[in-house]
Amino acid sequence: MTERNTLMRTAHDLGLAAWFGGSLMGAVGVNGAAREEGVTEVGIARIASVGWAKWTPLGAAAIGSHLVGGAGLLLANSGRVSEQRSVAAATVAKALLTGGALAATAYTRILGKKVELASSQKQEAQETAEEIPVGVHQAQRQLDVMQWVVPGLTAGLIALNALMGEQQRPSQQAVGVLRRSLAGRYRP
């Protein structure tokens, strides 16, 4: 295959790199700095919330870039997905893992917003926090776990990308197409 998809691959890979790196840096750097510099639980929550709020628009853009690039790559490689052995399975696994990472990211944002609003000095924000069904302490405990789930899932996506890159080697493509054509030829 001599087709190039440089723009789509760049959008896909840079988006995933920022999604993974941002979530990992947030878990280690932002949350770690907040724990070190915050004097009280409320102070820790406020510091972490400010850091995450600064990252959120860029994180959303990174996820969008990854999804647009992934859709473009899927469209460009649709023939290979249907013809080359094990590519469809890897594609389904990647779609499921991407869905899991999106769900974990969204849930983490909901929890973070609850903590952010509840720790605000503004009365209106604290009242809005009460509308989110999870309690503040429960949200903080869940955030302590979820901060590692998102980078874990996105690391899994990076590993699947490596596998899928290996599947694009000419030798892998030729074997897959040959197996598929021979299997179709000898069916009763």
pLDDT in tens, 24-61: 999 999 999 999 999 898 899 999 999 999 999 999 99
Per residue in 92-148, pLDDT tens?
999 999 999 999 999 999 999 999 988 888 888 777 877 777 778 898 999 999 999
**Nearest C-alpha neighbor of 154 from the set 16, 58, 55:** 16
Give exposure, 154-180, as e/b (b: 16+ Cβ within 10 Å).
bebbeebbeebeebeeeebbeebeeee
Domain segments of the chain as ranges: 8-170
Inter-helix orientation angle 6-25/41-76, to 10°: 160
* Angular region, 141: left φ>0, alpha ψ -120 to 50, beta rest: alpha
Q: How far is CA 29 from the centre of its chain?
A: 18
Here the tokens at position 63 are 């996820």
67 and 16 Cβ atoms separated by less than 8 Å? no
Residue (of 22, 146, 58, 152) closest to 97 by Cα position: 152
pLDDT score of 85 more than 50: yes
